[in-house]
Amino acid sequence: MNQYSTDLTDSQWKLLEGILNDNRNRKHSLREIFNAIFYLSKTGCQWRMLPNDFPKWQLVYYYFTKWKNIGVIEQAHDIIRDKIRKKSGKHISPSLACIDSQSIKTTRLGGEARGIDGGKKINGRKRHIITDTMGLLLAVVVHAANVHDSKGAFDVIKLLHGRYGRLVKIAADGGYRGQLIERTKKAFGYVLDIVLRTDFTLKFEVIPKRWIVERTFSWFESYRRLSKDFEYKTDTSEAMIQIAMIKLMLNRIK
């Protein structure tokens, strides 16, 4: 079998294997399945175009769908993120998070939840994400691009509730001003800290905290499957983002 740069190393697979905790004998190992999913995420190929070195695409797609539906992908993502945070000397639960959205085009086939972002002139969806101060993903929701940030944000903030005990503040840009601030405080106790640009300079300046989540969006550019939203269902889009983040974090493990 050919070796691809997206293949798991032995130490990376050992970590994933421990999370899966599945020792059943199979014709194709789960390591091969994950390698195929990571290859697809990185190259952006269609499921049917997976190289013959991997198990049949139908089998790879079956496991991806199964793991998405029962929460294995999200669980693996969260466990690896917590390990990366601990390795960096941080508490598992962050005290500060950052929120932002990215409008992205969909394909001609479309799918559920599509709309036009009038400001960015994009027909498609929005990826609404919340990260920690390392840029690691805490929560993601994909919705139609015509949903305003102040309205779509509540759904992704809601995913944080009860999961991160130390979280008190979420940094956001001016698009999140208004009733969302009070609504978030009342429902979850989080302080929505609006970080605005200054009007005193025409030069480019790095906005405190906000650059963190923008950098995370830039990481997605390394994964061609995320160059557009190719998925028919929004939960599949969310899972593909988690897959990319899993590989990004695993790459920090030799």
pLDDT digits over 100-136, tens only?
Answer: 999 999 988 768 889 999 888 999 999 999 999 999 9
**What backbone phi and psi angles, to 5 degrees, belong to 211?**
-65, -25
d(CA 112, CA 48): 22
Q: Please return the burial class of 121, using the count of CB atoms within 10 Å of its CB with bins 0-12, 13-18 and 19+.
A: exposed
The one-letter amino acid code at 154 reads F
- pLDDT, one tens digit per residue, over 39-72 is 999 999 999 999 999 999 999 999 999 999 999 9
d(CA 150, CA 177): 7
The one-letter amino acid code at 237 reads S
**What does pTM read for this prediction?**
0.93
pLDDT for residue 119: 87
Instruction: Give the residue with greater pLDDT, 202 vs 105.
Output: 105
Scanning the structure block, which residue is given the tokens 């032995």? Answer: 10
Q: In the chain, pLDDT over 70 holds for what percent of residues?
A: 94
Strand partners, 193: 171
d(CA 126, CA 229): 9
d(CA 25, CA 13): 16
Is the separation of the CB atoms in 73 and 63 below 8 Å?
A: no
Instruction: Give the residue with greater pLDDT, 3 vs 223.
Output: 223
Could you tell me which residues come within 8 angstroms of residue 199 by beta carbon, excluding any fewer than 6 positions away?
none
Q: What structural domains and CATH numbers belong to the chain?
A: 10-70 (no CATH), 92-229 (3.30.420.10)
- pLDDT, one tens digit per residue, over 203-213 is 545 456 778 99
**What backbone phi and psi angles, to 5 degrees, belong to 198?**
-90, 155
